[in-house]
A and B are shown apart, each in its own frame.
Chain A
Amino acid sequence: MAVTPRVCLLTGASGLLGTRFIERLASRYQVVAVHLHQPVDFASQDQYFMDPLAPDDDIAANDHPVFTLAADLSDPGECTRVVKQALATFGQVDLLVCGAGQRHWSSLLTEESSRVAAGTFAVNTLSPLWLAGELARQAWAGTVEENVERNRNVVTVASSAGVYVYPDLGQGVYAASKAALIHLGYHLASECWDIGVRVNTVVPDTFPGRAETDDVIDAIVAFDEGSETGRTTTLLGPS
């Protein structure tokens, strides 16, 4: 009997983390890849690979196409549309991975920090809330048993900057948005418990560099496969 693949709604899909996630896991999940302007470099519903020297040959990279959605997640209406389209296309979402992030390094005392703060919080902190809320309202709230059976969950990707203060690097707005995301995760976990959905947060140091991108993905997968909720996995580089 064919097993229905887990549907993973992945934000930040054309970024470093999203790209590596798809590279490793497109055969394991049906990935709904949400990106902003930069399209993903994978086979999808409207793009495919071809061997320039053997155009008729099959290419393995076409075997597991992702489903792409271009969206500006700083707009709550776009989050609503993303969830609606993912559910309309696949009928379910089993894993929400919030990997989209925005960062601007500047002193909190500059006009730039004031200018980018709302957008940074919208993408980094609020879009996980908007997406999880939409999933709950459009699907999960009415399928509690199925949620438990399919081990549905949310994994957000925060940052060690949300836990530790790295002073004088211009990270204030970014760090505050990630700190808020970590705390939001605890509350989301508490409330989603009632509908059988788990919520956890990965808190990595800078990757790649101080932490490994693959370790971040391993942590996401571990949460997806596990049974924990309201937890964080912190991945720190050498001190």
Chain B
Amino acid sequence: MTATAQAPELVDVLANRRWLHRTRPFHHVVARDVFTERFYTELAGATSDLLAAGLSDAPSSGRFSRGMTGYDAYGLGITHDLGGPFSLFLSPQWRDVLSDQFAVGRTPYVFAGAHHHRPGGRTGFLHNDYNPVWFPRAAEGDERLQLPDPSRCDFKTGAGTLSEDEKVETIRGAVVIYYLLNDGWQPGDGGETGLFASGTDDPDAPAGRCPPLNNSLVAFECTPFSFHAFLANQRPRTSIIMWVHRTVDEAYEKYGADQVERWQ
């Protein structure tokens, strides 16, 4: 993979132009056969290469590693340096598509990562993703989207070496989970993304289940009501997750400042 790889044109790699908007238990979008077979193969191959480096139970650069509180997945941040087909998920086009599905104002602030669950993963806790996230402030005129940089600006608190003017607090606006490398998944294998009508629902009885079928996705606006959880899995599950972020003003205006789910 090369760090200089450019994101493909979405129109060239998007195979499914009919994404289904569902309103229950909350507004979300599902789509199958999302990308062309060729692009899916490229993406799956690149992800397999990363998985081949092995899983780490401690944070480890360039490897899937564990470190997310309350979530037993192995994660790997997708950066511009990773390049290759992953660059699609950090492209303005993909940001625009995700933002526009839910009328989230476009900003340059995004975060993407790959997740892998070993078999036997437990059902996660119900959460809504309506969280604040800090970024280094994007430079004027920089076409590249801005990613978090925890070495200078803590993702959750903004603490770090940057001055107030050099960083910005945002609120997660929408998320997309794209499933890949889950060959042969069948109902009963688990690993779905469960959707819930409220935060007090039984985690084992979701109102909706989004199966981790290869080359499919689920996306939704992050709101005070978008409760979801990873459901226990009997076989490995792999996905790519990406968030777009909205301004604090927009989030507060739409849902109120008191609704933001502050990090514990």
Contact = CB atoms under 8 A, between A and B. Distances in A.
Interface of A: 37-39, 41, 43, 46-55, 59, 61
A39 B208 contact: yes
Interface in B4-63: 10-11, 14, 17-24, 29-32
Contacts of B22: 39, 46-47
B18 A51 contact: yes
Interface residues of B, number: 20
Contacts of A37: 209
A41 B20 contact: yes
B257 interface: no
B20 A49 contact: yes
Contacts of A38: 209
B19 A47 contact: no
Given A37-B209, A53-B10, A48 B18 contact: no
Contacts of A41: 20, 30, 32
Given A39-B208, A46-B23, A59 B18 contact: yes
A53 B17 CA distance: 7
A49 B19 contact: yes
A52 B101 contact: yes
A50 B23 contact: no
Interface of B: 10-11, 14, 17-24, 29-32, 97, 100-101, 208-209
A61 B21 contact: no
Nearest to B18: A49
A112 B114 CA distance: 39
Contact of A49 (B10, B21, B97, B100): B21
Given A46-B22, A51-B18, A52-B31, 5 more contacts: A41-B20, A47-B20, A50-B19, A52-B100, A53-B10
A53 B20 CA distance: 13
A53 B23 contact: no
A49 B16 CA distance: 11
Contacts of B14: 52-53
25 contacts: A39-B22, A39-B24, A39-B208, A41-B30, A41-B32, A43-B20, A46-B23, A47-B20, A48-B20, A49-B18, A49-B19, A50-B18, A50-B29, A51-B17, A51-B18, A51-B19, A52-B97, A52-B100, A52-B101, A53-B10, A53-B11, A53-B14, A53-B17, A54-B17, A61-B18
Contacts of A59: 18
Contacts of B23: 46-47
Contacts of B19: 49-52
Nearest to B207: A37
A55 B100 contact: yes
A53 B208 CA distance: 26
Nearest to B16: A52
A30 B23 CA distance: 21
A51 B14 CA distance: 11
B21 A52 contact: no
B16 to A, nearest CB: 8
Find the residue from A53, A55, A61 having the highest chain B CB count within 10 A: A53
A43 B20 CA distance: 8
A54 B21 CA distance: 14
Contacts of A50: 18-19, 21, 29, 101
Contacts of B100: 52, 55
Contacts of A51: 17-19
Contacts of B32: 41
Which 7 pairs between the two chains have the least Cβ-Cβ distance?
A47-B22, A46-B23, A49-B18, A51-B17, A52-B97, A52-B19, A48-B21
Contacts of A52: 14, 17, 19, 31, 97, 100-101
A181 B220 CA distance: 42
Contacts of A61: 18
A104 to B, nearest CB: 12
A137 B171 CA distance: 55
A168 B20 CA distance: 42
Nearest to A57: B17
Contact of A46 (B24, B31, B209): B24
A24 B24 CA distance: 25
A37 B100 CA distance: 29
A68 to B, nearest CB: 10
Contacts of A49: 18-21
Contacts of B29: 50
Contacts of A53: 10-11, 14, 17, 97
A50 B14 CA distance: 14
A102 B23 CA distance: 27
